[in-house]
Amino acid sequence: MSFPLANVKSTVRQESGFTLLELTIAMGIFSMLAMLIMYTLNGFVTLQNQTLNRFYATSSAQNIIDQLSKDIRTAVTPTGLAGQTTPFVSASPTSLTFYANLGGASPTEIHAYASPIPGNATCPCQFHEDVYQGGTWVPRVDGGYVVGLAVFSYFSAPTTSQPQPTIVSIASTGTTSQTTLSQIAEIGLNVSTSINPNSPLTTVDSLIEIRNVAFNPATTS
């Protein structure tokens, strides 16, 4: 019994499965889909990390602003100290030293400043706030990461002719002149933070009015 040759060829072709060309095309499509999925996942992870870094940076900046604002609002003039006619000892764009009423029997001297991380001549920097207690400086806020040294700006009180605060010009090297420091009625804070050089930058600003209530330890009960 014999079979037609055409039927034999058709049967062999139907049972031979995928051709090499079909397998190559399928693997190419699969590879493209896998690359697309990996790209999408990497983008999602990167976005998530940036969001977390921005959150941590904002929290760090806000913590610095909150603590510093709280202390500056309690700034007082220690009337018992000769030559001290303002709450401020010194001021510059990168640091501020002042007296504050932290609830003790006398005003507490506070030194707030930004400085480069040890081993660096420029930023990245860290923000510090120290208080003078028992004859030594004690850290109050230590290690907050900032990306700029210029944290402080200073403004005079508004007047009838000038309703908007005007900038009190203070050199980058700072000043200890009580005449110049007496012009300060408001202090602007600008804290820019970042978790690392490659993460998003977050900036928090605040403007603080100086109450400047005289504090005389001799009259404290």
Q: Given this model, what pLDDT does residue 88 score?
A: 94
Q: Given this model, what pLDDT does residue 217 score?
A: 47
158-216, pLDDT tens digit by residue? Answer: 888 877 888 999 998 999 999 999 999 999 998 888 766 666 778 888 888 887 654 44
Residue 110 has pLDDT above 80, yes or no: yes
DSSP-derived 3-state class of residue 195: coil
Q: Which residue has the tokens 């000892």?
A: 89
Residue 136 has pLDDT above 90, yes or no: yes
pTM exceeding the 0.85 threshold for the entire prediction: no
C-alpha 188/C-alpha 153 separation (Å) is 5
Q: Averaged over 109-120, what is the pLDDT? A: 86
- Beta-sheet strand order (sheet of 108-116): 88-91, 95-100, 108-116, 125-133, 136-146
Greatest mean pLDDT among 47-56, 57-66, 69-78, 123-132 lies in 69-78
Q: Given this model, what pLDDT does residue 90 score?
A: 95
Q: Residue ranges of the domains in the chain?
A: 60-219
Number of other CB atoms surrounding residue 190 within 10 Å: 17
Residue 112 has pLDDT above 90, yes or no: yes
Q: Averaged over 130-156, what is the pLDDT? A: 84
Q: Given this model, what pLDDT does residue 53 score?
A: 74
Residue 10 has pLDDT above 60, yes or no: no
Q: Averaged over 35-61, what is the pLDDT? A: 79
Q: Given this model, what pLDDT does residue 34 score?
A: 87
Residue 157 has pLDDT above 90, yes or no: no
Q: Given this model, what pLDDT does residue 25 score?
A: 86
Q: Given this model, what pLDDT does residue 220 score?
A: 42
Residue 108 has pLDDT above 50, yes or no: yes
> Exposure of 12 by Cβ count < 10 A (0-12 exposed, 13-18 middle, 19+ buried)?
exposed
Q: Given this model, what pLDDT does residue 212 score?
A: 61
Greatest mean pLDDT among 18-22, 52-56, 85-89, 146-150 lies in 85-89
Q: Given this model, what pLDDT does residue 177 score?
A: 94
**What value, to the nearest 5°, has the Cα angle with vertex 142 and ends 156 and 95?**
25
